[in-house]
């Protein structure tokens, strides 16, 4: 793990815990906490980990006995049992490579984050773009009944993107794990029980979701 620059980070409990337990990122604890709350990953599951580098979430998935396919723009040091694809989740080519490894996955997790500019709206919109790319991939590869977790930076599009995704899951919720920093704008969408929204009866107000379902 790179040394944290800010004093606040150096005092961060999860940073030192990650170092002590051999996790590559403090983010590992967010997945551990979400898994404890929502029971997302089981032994033998095929997990697709988007925005995976440096690999904390992939390490956690391996501990649960899952098979992992990890994707990132940046390189990632090898982890036993993890197949790594270097690529952009916005690109069709990356989706093709993901499907070449497995046609279906039990769970898609995405912790991808844009480069932070410090400008709230720009960071929010770039993060929403990543959410939509991750969701587009999830719709193509998730098995019926599968789970989906995706990070976003909160802002004006948050509720809209929630409405787009909600018909596709039996259970859906926004969640903020304790390991997320208090000052952070990040929040996770947790969707369980994936279903094709084709058979969904769209209600008034679900127009965004209908558009997505028809794509």
Q: Give me the 76-105 binding string for ligand SAM, x by CB under 6 A, dash otherwise.
A: ------------xxx---------------
Using CB under 6 A as the binding rule, whether residue 51 contacts ligand SAM is answered as yes
- How many angstroms separate the CA atoms of 124 and 113, rounded? 10
Using CB under 6 A as the binding rule, whether residue 57 contacts ligand SAM is answered as yes
Using CB under 6 A as the binding rule, whether residue 35 contacts ligand SAM is answered as no
At 179, list the tokens: 């390991």
Residue number, 25 or 180, with CB nearest to ligand SAM: 25
Q: Whole-number minimum distance, CB 37 to ligand SAM, in Å?
A: 17
Using CB under 6 A as the binding rule, whether residue 54 contacts ligand SAM is answered as yes
**Buried/exposed 91-118: b ≥16 CB within 10 Å, e otherwise:** eeebbeebeeebeebbbbbbbbbbeeee
Neighbours of 177 (CB within 10 A): 18
Sign of the alpha-carbon dihedral angle for 182, 184, 187, 188? negative
Count each helix (H run) and each strand (E run) in the chain, helices first.
8, 7
Using CB under 6 A as the binding rule, whether residue 187 contacts ligand SAM is answered as no
Using CB under 6 A as the binding rule, whether residue 25 contacts ligand SAM is answered as yes
Stretch that binds ligand SAM, among 33-41, 106-114, 179-187, 201-209 (CB under 6 A): 106-114
The conformational region for residue 148 under phi > 0 = left, psi -120 to 50 = alpha, else beta, is: beta
Q: Whole-number minimum distance, CB 201 to ligand SAM, in Å?
A: 34
Contact predicate 49/101, CB 8 Å: no
**Active site members:** 151
Residues at the contact surface with ligand SAM, assessed by CB under 6 A: 24-25, 27-28, 51-57, 71-74, 88-90, 111-114, 130
């Amino acid at each position: 793990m790179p040394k944290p620059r800010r004093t606040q980070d150096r005092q961060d409990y999860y940073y030192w815990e990650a170092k002590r337990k051999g996790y590559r990122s403090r983010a590992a604890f967010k997945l551990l906490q979400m898994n404890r709350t929502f029971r997302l990953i089981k032994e033998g599951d095929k997990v697709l980990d988007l925005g995976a580098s440096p690999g904390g979430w992939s390490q956690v998935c391996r501990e649960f006995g899952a098979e992992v396919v990890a994707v990132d723009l940046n390189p990632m040091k090898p982890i036993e049992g993890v197949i790594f694809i270097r690529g952009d989740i916005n690109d069709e080519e990356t989706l093709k490579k993901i499907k070449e490894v497995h046609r279906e996955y039990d769970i898609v997790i995405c912790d991808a984050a844009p480069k932070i500019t410090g400008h709230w709206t720009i960071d929010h919109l770039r993060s929403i773009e990543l959410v939509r790319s991750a969701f587009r991939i999830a719709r193509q590869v998730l098995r019926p009944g599968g789970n989906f977790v995706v990070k976003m930076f909160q802002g004006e599009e948050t509720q809209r993107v929630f409405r787009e995704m909600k018909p596709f899951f039996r259970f859906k919720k926004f969640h903020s794990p304790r390991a997320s920093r208090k000052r952070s704008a990040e929040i996770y969408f947790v969707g369980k029980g994936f279903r094709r929204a084709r058979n969904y009866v769209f209600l008034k107000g679900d127009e965004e979701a209908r558009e997505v379902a028809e794509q």
